[in-house]
Structures are given as structure tokens and as C-alpha cells.
Amino acid sequence: MSQVSDILKRDMDLFHDDLNCGSKISYTASDTVLVSDFTEYNPLHNGHFHCMKTAKEMFPESLFVAIVPGLFERSGRGIPYILPRHVRAEIAISVGADIVVEGPPMGIMGSGQYSLCLCKMFQALNTDYIPRGYKPVEGMDEILKRINLGHHIASKPYKIVDKTTKETLLKGKLEEDNYVITSFSNSLSKIGFDYAGKFIFVERIEGVSGTLIRESILQDNFDNVLDMMPQKTIEVLKREIKSGGIIYGLRDEERILDTANNYSLNELSGLNLFNEKLAKNIIDNGPYGDIETLEKSILHGFSSHFRQRVLSILENPIPKNTISQYIDNYPSKIRVLGYKNEESFEKFKEKVNNENISLLSRA
């Protein structure tokens, strides 16, 4: 079995373990300041590093906890990550994070679903501050100001609204980083988390290109991106390329084709993010002998990455109602991927209001 197949099998077992585990909430009286950031670190570049350094400089005695998306190793775009989460955690610890915990399975969820899970994780971590990178555009300063006042800001079709004052703050769509901020505000409001004054907004730095970084990895040539990433990221990437540890673009194709070819209409339409029209289209154009033919048969969706997300769901077929149960119970466990030292880990356990804390070993 391939490395990717091993990871996906292990993660499906973890997913179902979480469904059957009750969250154990406890009262905490820790005076440790916990700064919690959600970042994919795909891979960790200077933009991520700048955000981390800014927050740590503001609160030098704080515990910096990075939430790194976990189960199934698929990004919010449905695309396999460059590095498994344990390796991403290793890099984060090496450049300044105190603790790295596993976040929700982004690639098989809708954006609203994983935003809700992430916000429930912020709550479970007893988070004091949340650093977030943003891109300065017209109207964004007012949105950020309202959020740090604790207003309920939400993205609606083609506009951003302040649900606290019932005002429209901006017409049109926000770019991805800015959209994530409003999505967090909306989800945090839904779960009743008081985030007034908790966000640390950090303006994005220029000169970092994710496209060029990914190309450098595929070509094993980092000459054009040496100034875009910390040296540790580059060292680990080179090490993982040499050892065959890069999982970018790798899928369990046998599992995907098995789901597409053998699931019934009801089974397919019952999967998360699926509907009957999409399921029927896949069945009508099958059976499939390769991923390329299957991908071409998938209807266009609401985003340019919809087909990749569908492939990730076929690869890890989970029904809608099971995902709903998972979200309701999230986070039933807090899995730690890495920590700086024992002192940091002990402070973390004292601070967090969930007793189900465990260390996750590599697949």
C-alpha cells in the first residue's frame, strides 16, 4: 500500500473514532496567554512566518499554538498537500510555534463547515488572541474595525454586512484571505464566542508566490524562491524530496474509481457536498478506467477547484449526516502533532478546556 493510501486509511479510522468520542470539557484557571493561528503551511513561507513573528512580538510570554489542517491531507481546494501534517508541524515548531494541533479535514468539507469547526477549535483551546493575515483593500479597514469591536460580520452574496447594526459595509466579493476573516467572524458569532479585541490583524507582505514555490518543489530547484521561505522550510522540502515524502498531487486512485464506479445513485448523492444531479452525471458517464476521464465528467461547480474537491470526497466517501455529526461533536479530541518542549506542553494542557488531548504518531 502506498504512503498516501496508508495515511488515508489511518485518517478514516481517526475520523470514526472522533464520532464515537464525547468531548470532556473542564474548567481552567490558567493565566497563560494563548495565541492561536489557523494556517495550512503548504508549505510554511515568509508570509506565515511574518504573521507568527508579529503575534509573538506583541505577546512574548504567550503560548503560540498553530492549528494545521489534518485528516485526509487535502486542502480547502481539495488538492493534496505538499507535505503530511507531521512534517508541516515540524517546520512550524522549528521557526517559533510552541504547539501544533491537528485541525479539521478541509478537503472534504464546504468552506462554512470547516470555518465552523475551526472556530469551535479556537473555543476549545481557550484562545486569547487570533492572528490573521489580510490584504489591504478599500473598505477592509472598516470591516476589521467592526470585527475587533465584536460585531457579527458576515459575507452575503456580493456584499459584506454588519449583522449587529444591519449595515452593508462593502459591495462585491472579498479575496480569499479577507474572506476567511469575515467567515471566522460569522462562525464565532454562531457559537457564541466573544471575539471582541481578540484578533491581531497583520497586513500581508509582498514577494511571496505560492505558484512559484510549488513549481520549485516539483522541479527540485529552489533558486527562484530562496527569499520566499525560511531556511528551515527549504531544508525540510529538500529532505522530503530526497526521501520521497512529498505527497502533492498524489491520490488513492483505486479508491476514487471504486467509489465512482460502484456506489449507487443514493449513496453518491448522499455524500457531503454532493447532490442528485452531480451523482447522476457521474453514474451516467461511467464506468471509469482512469482519473482523467472521471475528472472531465464532473460538472462545473461554484469554484474553479470544485472538481478537485469532488475527487477528494470520492477518495474519502463520507455521508452528509455523518459530517454533520462530526461537526456537532467537534473537537471531541485535540490531537497534538508536535510541541517545542515539555514545559510548553504542560502549559498547553493546563490552559485548554478539553481533557481529550493526545499525541498523534506518524502514519
**CA 29 to each of CA 345, 349, 350, 353, 361: distance values in angstroms, whole numbers, following the listed order:** 16, 11, 8, 10, 29
Angle at Cα 38 formed by Cα 345 and Cα 304, nearest 5°?
Answer: 150
pLDDT of residue 272: 95
pLDDT of residue 301: 65
Calpha distance 255→343 (Å, rounded):
42
Residues 57 and 26 sit within 8 Å (Cβ to Cβ): no
Closest residue by Cα to residue 247 from 336, 326, 315 = 315
State the amino acid at position 221 in one-letter form: N
Give the rounded distance of the alpha carbon of 38 from its chain centre.
7
pLDDT of residue 1: 47
pLDDT of residue 67: 97
Angle at Cα 291 formed by Cα 4 and Cα 294, nearest 5°?
Answer: 135
Q: Tell me the three state secondary structure of residue 199.
A: strand
pLDDT of residue 302: 60
pLDDT of residue 76: 87
Residues 276 and 254 sit within 8 Å (Cβ to Cβ): no
State the amino acid at position 137 in one-letter form: V
For residue 319, what are the β-bridge partners?
271
Q: pLDDT per residue over 157-200, tens digit each?
A: 889 999 999 999 999 888 888 999 999 999 999 999 999 999 99
**Regions of the chain short of the pLDDT cut 70:** 1, 301-304, 363
Residues 226 and 174 sit within 8 Å (Cβ to Cβ): no
pLDDT of residue 303: 66
Residues 362 and 152 sit within 8 Å (Cβ to Cβ): no
Can you read off the three cell numbers belonging to residue 9?
486509511
